[in-house]
Amino acid sequence: MLVRLMCPLLTVAGFLISCSSASTSSPSPAAGPSTTGSTTLSSAYTKKCSGCHGAAGATKLGSAALKGSTTAQATWESAIRKGVGSMDPFATSVYSDTDMKADYTILTGKTWK
């Protein structure tokens, strides 16, 4: 009776096979999420940004730290591509979109949308 309640569409024999196999084939994500999952800021960041923003983005001249920043993505992108305050703009040839997005995720914990 309990078996029927749990797997109403299966016969008792089918239950033993399908449910036991289901319970033993627990999903085991071997490689983690499909994102890179990197926690290392890009080499471009280290070369071009860390002098002002610190190696891990923890400090920033004249403004809040990048690490843990809640700044909106559009503001973030604009600061980098158009410059802000005393910060010069950085072209994609110097600091690629790929690096910008990956670093944004590492620094803010948010995914680039």
* 18, 52, 54, 110: which one binds ligand HEC (CB under 6 A): 52
Q: How many chain residues bind ligand HEC (CB under 6 A)? A: 24
Binding-site string for ligand HEC from residue 21 to residue 50, where x marks contact by CB under 6 A and - marks none: ------------------------x--xx-
Whole-angstrom distance, CA of residue 45 vs CA of residue 91? 13
Whole-angstrom distance, CA of residue 102 vs CA of residue 112? 8
How is residue 76 written in tokens? Answer: 């973030």
Please, what's the largest Cα pairwise distance for the chain? 74
The residues of the shown chain that bind ligand HEC, judged by CB under 6 A, are 45, 48-49, 51-53, 60-64, 66, 69, 71, 75-76, 79-80, 84-87, 90, 95
